Amino acid sequence: MSNPLKVGIAGLGTVGAGTVRVLETQAALLAARSGREIKVTAVAARERGKDRGVKLDSYAWHEDARALAGLADVDVVVELIGGADGIAKDLVEAAIANGKHVVTANKALIARHGTDLARKAEKAGVTLAFEASVAGGIPIVKALREGLAANRVSRIYGILNGTCNYILTNMRETGKSFAEVLAEAQKLGYAEADPVFDVDGIDAAHKLAILASLAFGCEVDFKSVHTEGIRDISAEDIQFADQLGYRIKLLGIARRTEHGIEQRVHPCMVPEKLPIAHIDGVFNAVVADGDFVETTLYEGRGAGAGPTASAVVADLVDIARGHRIPAFGVPSSALTKLPVSPLSQHRGAYYVRFTVLDRPGVFAEIAAALRDHSVSMESILQHSRAPGEKVPVVLTTHETEEGAMQATLQAILKSGAVTEPPTMIRIEAF
């Protein structure tokens, strides 16, 4: 058996402690699978005293994570600090510069600096691996870089944020509002105290940008991801979705179009007969369509100590086995800069909920706006109330262009037919 692979772990939160636990618990198994021992030699975290549920006294302790990049007895730096910049980025860059492999779970870092870091790693002849950055324990990075290597991928989409999926599932099951369910999720630890990254779609957008780069062989382009969150989804929308045979899911969708690459994260109505409609709670799922393999789906837990550590350690096993694959599956020089396919040119069906005053002429104004923009209606739902009361009207459209849809909504808003801005949710039948 060869020399052990020596690992320095930066960041001892849930995932860091989980990684230490996996490496300890599975030591014999991992050695058999890797052909060599995988051994933690150093750890870094600021607070030394804290109980993290694992024994850490046998490892060299560094308060400044950046120190790991310079240690002679570290072959791989595992970065579990988080954040697109700051210490995480400093550490990763220094580790690469010093000829050390890097394994990270940091989606923000890879989404914002992935292409640049991949170039640096390649130049230094080291591996940059980030299986844990997308969809937790699901080995989707490996599936795209290796398992589907024979395919040109045309589309990749999925449920990439467990917090949002938990909230939407719970709203549907209980009929409660977004705010109520969010507050409960925060109490249960399923949502952060500051939920912005999750509920506003940013976390999913980070992951989508990484998946798109792997799937299409293009530079990571996080800035071009159109991102909407789930704050505006109401209990009413969820009820209407049920009536119409849909489920509301926050999806990340990236696809090749005739104009380039479209990347978007937003709530979607998906037909309830699709498998993705039944991925509930904190689970993640990713669907990849390849030209030969056709449709494949991957499902599992998208977060948590065990699943995320499982992905981190899978990367370590690859490195221990001596596998070297460019970060995004092709050499960084081969990564293309694909043009952004503008959302205004996206074609799809739409669900729109208007709040109107129940008075004569309202329907005529809405219908006129649709006609003026050549948007064709598919169905309409209204539950009548007393005249003069506010009432929700829901309509779905046939396939139309996003630009036309947006212009229609503007026209309706201006016409005074509605009492508040309409809610628009894209329908994705796949």
Angle between helices 107-124 and 87-97 (to 10 degrees): 10
- Map the footprint of a second copy across residues 177-216, applying CB under 8 A: none
Site mask for a second copy (CB under 8 A), range 116-155, x = bound? ---------------x-----xxx--xx--xxxxxxx---
Select the span of 50-58, 105-113, 175-183, 275-283 touching a second copy (CB under 8 A): 275-283
In the bound complex, what is the minimum distance in angstroms from residue 317's beta carbon to a second copy? 4
Q: In this complex, which beta carbon is closest to a second copy, that of residue 102 or of residue 314?
A: 314
> Which CB sits closer to a second copy, 111 or 313?
313
Q: Which of 56, 124, 293, 407 binds a second copy (CB under 8 A)?
A: 293
User: Helix (H) and strand (E) counts for the chain?
Assistant: 13, 17
Q: At 357, phi and psi to the nearest 5?
A: -85, 135
- Three-class SS of 328-383: CCCCHHHCECCCECCHHHCEEEEEEEEEEECCCCHHHHHHHHHHHCCCCEEEEEEC
Q: How far is the CB of 260 from a second copy (least distance, A)?
A: 18
Bridge-partner residues for 218, per DSSP?
336
Q: Where does this chain touch a second copy (CB under 8 A) — which range of 102-110, 116-124, 227-235, 290-298?
A: 290-298
CA atoms lying within 13 Å on the CB side of residue 94: 19
Tell me the closest approach of the beta carbon of residue 28 to a second copy, in angstroms: 10
Is 107 an active-site residue? no
Question: For a second copy, which residue of 10, 30, 303, 394 counts as binding (CB under 8 A)?
Answer: 30
Taking CA atoms, 158 is separated from 86, 186, 304, 359, in Å, by 29, 23, 18, 41
CA distances from 189 to 163, 182, 245, 300 (A): 10, 10, 31, 19
Is 80 near a second copy (CB under 8 A)?
no
Q: Which is nearer to a second copy, 31 or 183 (CB)?
A: 31
Interface residue with a second copy among 8, 11, 16, 18 (CB under 8 A) is 18
CA atoms 260, 256, 328, 279: torsion sign: positive
d(CA 222, CA 324): 25
Nearest to a second copy of 25, 379 (CB atom) = 25
114 token code pair: 């992935």
Report the residue number, 149 or 380, with the smaller CB distance to a second copy: 149
Is residue 26 a contact point for a second copy (CB under 8 A)?
yes
From the candidates 120, 207, 223, 273, give the one annotated as an active-site residue: 207
Pick the stretch among 60-68, 160-168, 302-310, 384-392 that binds a second copy (CB under 8 A). 302-310
The rounded distance, in Å, linking the Cα atoms of 243 and 343 is: 28
Choosing from 278, 337, 385, 398, the residue that interacts with a second copy (CB under 8 A) is 278
How does DSSP classify residue 273? T
How many CA atoms, within 13 angstroms, populate the side-chain half-sphere of residue 200?
Answer: 6
Q: Give the 3-state secondary structure of residue 298.
A: strand
Binding site for a second copy (CB under 8 A): 18, 22, 25-26, 29-30, 32-35, 131, 137-139, 142-143, 146-152, 217, 275, 278-279, 290-301, 306-307, 309-314, 317-318, 321-325, 329-331, 334
Q: Among all residues, which ones are annotated catalytic?
A: 207
